[in-house]
Amino acid sequence: MERTLVIIKPDALSKKIVGKVITTFEEEGFKIVAFKMVLLSREKAEEFYAEHKGKEFYEPLVNFMSSNPCVVMVLEGENIAQKVRDIAGNTDPQKAGEGTLRKLYAQDNRHNIVHAADSLESAEREVKFFFSENEIHHWEERIYKK
Ligand code: AMP
C-alpha cells in the first residue's frame, strides 16, 4: 500500500489550525498510520531539504522549519502522495486552487502550512527520515455506529 509523509509546518501550529488540517485529511477518508510532534534541529532541517541547498530560499526555509515544532504524519492509501499534493495545492498560495489548504491558510511560499512529498520515491525516503517501522501502525478500518 502506498504511503506518504505530511509535515504540518510551524505556521499551522501558530495559527492554531493543526486540527483543521488533520480534519481535512480525515474527511477525505485518508488513513493516518503514524503521527508525532517534532522540533527539527537546524542540522535535521538542512538534511531534509538538502536538495535545495544553494537556492536562495534554502537558508530562510531551514530557519523557519527549525524555528518551532512541526507535526509529522504518515498517510496510507491508493495514490496517496498525489491526493495529498492535490489537497495541499501549489507551493505558492497565490497559485493554489480554491479550497486547497494553501489557498485557505498559507501566507506565502515559505509559510505554506504543509509539506507533502513530491513523488513516491521521496515519500518513502521522507517517511523513513521521521519514522522507524515500529512507529507505523497497520491498523484495520472498522465501521462503528454514528
Ligand atoms: P519542495 O521540496 O518542493 O516541497 O519545497 C520545499 C519547500 O521549500 C516548500 O514547501 C516551500 O516552503 C519552500 N520553497 C520552495 N520553493 C520556494 C520559493 N521559490 N521560495 C520560497 N520557498 C520555497
142 domain residue, yes or no: no
Expressed in angstroms and rounded, the spacing between residue 60 Cα and the centre of ligand 1 is 10
- pTM listed for this prediction: 0.96
Q: Please, which pLDDT band fits residue 100 given cuts at 50, 70 and 90?
A: very high
Give the CATH number of the domain where residue 62 resides: 3.30.70.141
More confident residue, 85 or 146: 85
Q: Which long-range contacts (CB under 8 A, 24 or more apart) does 125-131 make?
A: 126/4, 126/5, 126/48, 127/3, 127/4, 127/5, 127/34, 127/74, 129/5, 129/47, 129/48, 130/5, 130/36, 130/38, 130/72, 131/34, 131/36, 131/72, 131/74
Over residues 119-127, mean pLDDT: 95
Rg of the Cα atoms in the chain: 15
Residue 130 lies in a domain: yes
In-domain check, residue 145: no
- Whether 80 shows a pLDDT value over 90: the answer reads yes
pLDDT for res 146: 84
Task: Look at residue 32 and tell me if it is in a domain.
Answer: yes
Pocket residue to mutate for ligand 1, from 109, 113, 122, most atoms within 8 A of Cβ: 109
Identify whether the C-beta of residue 87 lies closer than 8 Å to the C-beta of residue 24: yes
Query: Quick check: is 11 in a domain?
Result: yes
The reply to whether 143 falls in a domain is no
Express as a percent the part of the chain with pLDDT over 90: 98
Counted domains in the chain = 1
Range of the domain at 82: 2-135
Three cell numbers, residue 43: 542540522
Q: What is the mean pLDDT of the segment spanning 33-37?
A: 98
Q: Is the CB of 61 under 6 A from ligand 1?
A: yes
Q: Is residue 17 part of a domain?
A: yes
